[in-house]
């Protein structure tokens, strides 16, 4: 079985490598020539645990190929997966420009019947539009089916999530093509749900919007804890023990970020506007999140007044641990606000420093470790719960900082240990220690 994958980002690369691991022959195409060169040599351009080893093994065993010629990828392919980015347009809608370009090059390359599988997150109706777009380009004797197969992997555990997916969603109006794609996934042994195309497209947005809702909800409860004197950790634990609620996604913090929740909630909101439907909860989820991202900055402003010239350290930039992805990361927004105050900023992230430096250049000092970042600082902001930060020896804050003032956006430390270490400690939804 021959598979082509268009787009070698977090989703496309993990998909391609995992299909190769399952024994399929996979050819990945990307418009980014440098990425293709690196990948062909076994170098993984993204940080994803276990990915590089699997990439190297499948390259060596001759099941995985990379090309910068779309025709090479399509030539023998029985299935063509599209996993290109669908970022946010300025108005919040999904930018389908990369998808359209991928579809155009597939259309030009197809010389036999094809099954096109869209993995990218796309608004309801897009798969149908893509089918029509392809039918208009390809020779009339060819038959093309478009199958929706949205992706649910999480960055940082992409490989694990692919092999242990809770469900594989396959949406097809051409049932034969849907069944064929389901068969492709059989070796993974995971539950498959087959639906019509529009339902599959909506399952993806509804799932992300629901998870975002859980986060914004618990953050609202955390803010209420700060007003009432309750403790969010206890409240969330007590809620989560109810199986109808579940304990996951009940960690209060400084808001969701990343390449998916922010853009997907906004794209869903745009879709509701198109259908003239007022999705009130969704609007609030988005609004609460953008307010939450400013929480620590406001706390710091309240404490210091002006932050001009203050030495501040930001620990953790990636939107979550075990990834180098900084797209829509709350830390990026915080750094922008701190720069606006003319603070003197050092940053430390175990994986994302390169990407942060691409964004902020010489405006920041990039530390090799937490010790160097916090040395001489007036305040520390904890933005990502990397183990290097959660397991950091609290005794080092008073030792190395000018004054041990910590703003913890991820509730990494217990209040008692913060007190014992002599910290002035502000977290989310818990009383301040000072
Ligand atoms: P990404 O930005 O990491 O990668 C996209 C890749 O597509 C890039 O390498 C880019 O060069 C390539 N590309 C752009 N145009 C192309 C074209 N015409 N032909 C071939 N390649 C092209 O994106 P990602 O994070 O992998 O996300 C891809 C899709 O999957 C998005 O729709 C996203 O919403 C969805 N998704 C992402 C995640 C995640 O955790 N990142 C999870 C689930 C779903």
Cα(346) to centroid(ligand 1), Å: 30
173 and 96 assigned to the same domain: yes
- Residue at a domain's end among 247, 276, 291: 291
Q: What is the DSSP letter of 149?
A: -
Q: What is the pLDDT of residue 111?
A: 86
277 and 390 assigned to the same domain: no
Residue 83 lies in a domain: yes
- For ligand 1, whether the C-beta of 11 sits within 6 Å is yes
Minimal-distance CA residue to ligand 1 atom 2: 85
Distance CA 283, CA 268 (A): 10
Residue 164 lies in a domain: yes
Minimal-distance CA residue to ligand 1 atom 27: 85
Minimal-distance CA residue to ligand 1 atom 1: 9
Q: Which residues contact 108 (CB under 8 A, 6 or more apart)?
A: 70, 71, 137
- For ligand 1, whether the C-beta of 9 sits within 6 Å is yes
Nearest by Cα to 290 from 334, 339, 338, 321: 334
- In DSSP terms, 177 is beta-bridged to none
How many domains does one find in the chain? 3
- For ligand 1, whether the C-beta of 12 sits within 6 Å is yes
Distance CA 236, CA 268 (A): 27
The rounded percent of the chain whose pLDDT value lies above 90 is: 97
Average per-residue pLDDT for the chain? 97
Give the catalytic positions in this structure: 260
Cα(284) to centroid(ligand 1), Å: 27
pLDDT level of residue 207 (50, 70, 90 thresholds): very high
Helix/strand/coil for 171: strand
What does the pLDDT look like over 153-168, one tens digit per residue? Answer: 998 899 999 999 999 9
Residue 434 lies in a domain: no
151 and 298 assigned to the same domain: no
The CA dihedral of 256, 263, 323, 188, to the nearest 10 degrees, is: 110
Helix/strand/coil for 194: strand
- Both structure tokens of 113: 């019947």
Asked if 273 contacts 340 with a C-beta cutoff of 8 angstroms, the reply is: no
What CATH number is attached to the domain comprising 232? 1.10.1040.10
Asked if 222 contacts 408 with a C-beta cutoff of 8 angstroms, the reply is: no
Question: Residue 98 CA: which ligand 1 atom is closest?
Answer: 15
Minimal-distance CA residue to ligand 1 atom 10: 7
- Largest Cα separation within the chain, whole Å, is 76
- For ligand 1, whether the C-beta of 29 sits within 6 Å is yes
In whole angstroms, how far apart are CA 25 and each of 5, 38, 374?
11, 19, 49
Q: What is the pLDDT of residue 47?
A: 85
Cα(203) to centroid(ligand 1), Å: 19
What does the pLDDT look like over 275-293, one tens digit per residue? Answer: 999 999 999 999 999 999 9
What does the pLDDT look like over 72-102, one tens digit per residue? Answer: 999 889 999 999 999 999 999 999 999 999 9
284 and 297 assigned to the same domain: no
Residue 84 lies in a domain: yes
- In DSSP terms, 78 is beta-bridged to none
What CATH number is attached to the domain comprising 319? 3.40.50.720
- For ligand 1, whether the C-beta of 47 sits within 6 Å is no
Cα(129) to centroid(ligand 1), Å: 19
Question: Residue 158 CA: which ligand 1 atom is closest?
Answer: 40
What does the pLDDT look like over 114-140, one tens digit per residue? Answer: 999 999 999 999 999 999 999 999 999
In whole angstroms, how far apart are CA 416 and each of 4, 124, 427?
54, 49, 13
Cα(98) to centroid(ligand 1), Å: 9
320 and 238 assigned to the same domain: no
Question: Residue 155 CA: which ligand 1 atom is closest?
Answer: 40
What does the pLDDT look like over 167-199, one tens digit per residue? Answer: 999 999 999 999 999 999 999 999 999 999 999
- For ligand 1, whether the C-beta of 28 sits within 6 Å is no
Q: What is the pLDDT of residue 275?
A: 96
Ligand 1 mutation pick, 46, 89, 122, 151, max ligand atoms within 8 A of CB = 151
Ligand 1 mutation pick, 5, 6, 14, 30, max ligand atoms within 8 A of CB = 30
298 and 222 assigned to the same domain: no
Residue 255 lies in a domain: yes
Residue 432 lies in a domain: no
- For ligand 1, whether the C-beta of 151 sits within 6 Å is yes
42 and 100 assigned to the same domain: yes
- For ligand 1, whether the C-beta of 102 sits within 6 Å is yes
285 and 320 assigned to the same domain: no
Residue 235 lies in a domain: yes
Cα(121) to centroid(ligand 1), Å: 9
241 and 330 assigned to the same domain: no
Cα(102) to centroid(ligand 1), Å: 11
Residue 431 lies in a domain: no
Distance CA 368, CA 353 (A): 9
- For ligand 1, whether the C-beta of 149 sits within 6 Å is no
405 and 263 assigned to the same domain: no
ipTM above threshold 0.90: yes
Which domain range does residue 392 map to? 293-426
355 and 365 assigned to the same domain: yes
- In DSSP terms, 168 is beta-bridged to 192
- Residue at a domain's end among 243, 265, 291: 291
pLDDT of residue 405 exceeding 90: yes
Question: Residue 260 CA: which ligand 1 atom is closest?
Answer: 34
Mean pLDDT of 225-239: 98
Mean pLDDT of 50-68: 97
- For ligand 1, whether the C-beta of 100 sits within 6 Å is no
85 and 98 assigned to the same domain: yes
- For ligand 1, whether the C-beta of 83 sits within 6 Å is yes
- Residue at a domain's end among 195, 220, 250: 195
- For ligand 1, whether the C-beta of 85 sits within 6 Å is yes
Question: ∠54-56-62 over CA atoms, to 5°?
Answer: 100
Dihedral pair phi/psi, residue 359, rounded to 5°: -85, -45
Q: What is the pLDDT of residue 9?
A: 95
Mean pLDDT of 400-419: 98
What does the pLDDT look like over 337-364, one tens digit per residue? Answer: 999 999 999 999 999 999 999 999 999 9
């Amino acid at each position: 079985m021959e598979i082509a994958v268009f787009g070698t980002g977090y989703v496309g690369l993990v998909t391609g490598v995992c299909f190769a691991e399952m024994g399929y022959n996979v050819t990945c195409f990307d418009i980014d020539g440098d990425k293709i060169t690196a990948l062909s040599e076994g170098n993984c351009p993204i940080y994803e645990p276990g990915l590089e080893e699997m990439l190297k093994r499948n390259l060596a065993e001759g099941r995985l190929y990379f090309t910068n010629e779309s025709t090479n990828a399509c030539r023998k392919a029985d299935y063509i997966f599209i996993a290109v980015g669908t970022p946010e347009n300025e108005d919040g809608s999904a930018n389908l420009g990369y998808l359209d370009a991928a579809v155009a090059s597939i259309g030009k390359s197809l010389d036999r019947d094809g099954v096109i599988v869209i993995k990218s997150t796309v608004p309801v109706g897009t798969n149908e539009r893509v089918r029509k777009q392809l039918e208009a380009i390809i020779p009339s004797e060819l038959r093309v089916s478009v199958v929706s197969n949205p992706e649910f992997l999480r960055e940082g555990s992409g490989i694990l999530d692919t092999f242990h997916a809770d469900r594989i969603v396959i949406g097809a109006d051409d049932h034969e093509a849907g069944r064929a794609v389901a068969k492709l996934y059989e070796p993974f042994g995971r539950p498959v749900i087959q639906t019509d195309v529009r339902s599959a497209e909506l399952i993806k947005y509804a799932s992300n919007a629901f998870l975002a809702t859980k986060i914004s909800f618990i953050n609202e409860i955390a803010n209420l804890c700060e007003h009432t004197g309750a403790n969010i950790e206890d409240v969330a634990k007590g809620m989560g023990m109810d199986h109808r609620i579940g304990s996951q996604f009940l960690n209060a913090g400084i808001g969701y970020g990343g390449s998916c929740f922010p853009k997907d909630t906004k794209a869903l909101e745009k879709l509701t506007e198109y259908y003239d439907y007022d999705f009130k909860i969704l609007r609030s989820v988005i609004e609460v999140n953008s307010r939450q991202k400013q929480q620590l900055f406001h706390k710091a402003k309240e404490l210091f007044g002006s932050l001009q010239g203050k030495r501040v350290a930001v620990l953790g930039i990636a939107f979550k641990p075990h990834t180098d992805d900084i797209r829509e990361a709350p830390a990026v927004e915080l750094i922008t606000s701190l720069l606006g105050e003319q603070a003197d900023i050092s940053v430390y992230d175990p994986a994302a420093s390169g990407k942060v430096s691409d964004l902020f250049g010489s405006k920041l000092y990039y530390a090799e470790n937490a010790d160097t970042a916090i040395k001489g600082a007036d305040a520390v902001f904890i933005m990502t719960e990397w183990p290097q930060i959660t397991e950091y020896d609290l005794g080092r804050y008073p030792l190395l900082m000018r004054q041990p003032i910590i703003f913890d956006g991820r509730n990494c430390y217990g209040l008692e240990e913060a007190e014992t270490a002599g910290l002035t400690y502000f977290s989310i939804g818990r009383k301040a220690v000072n």
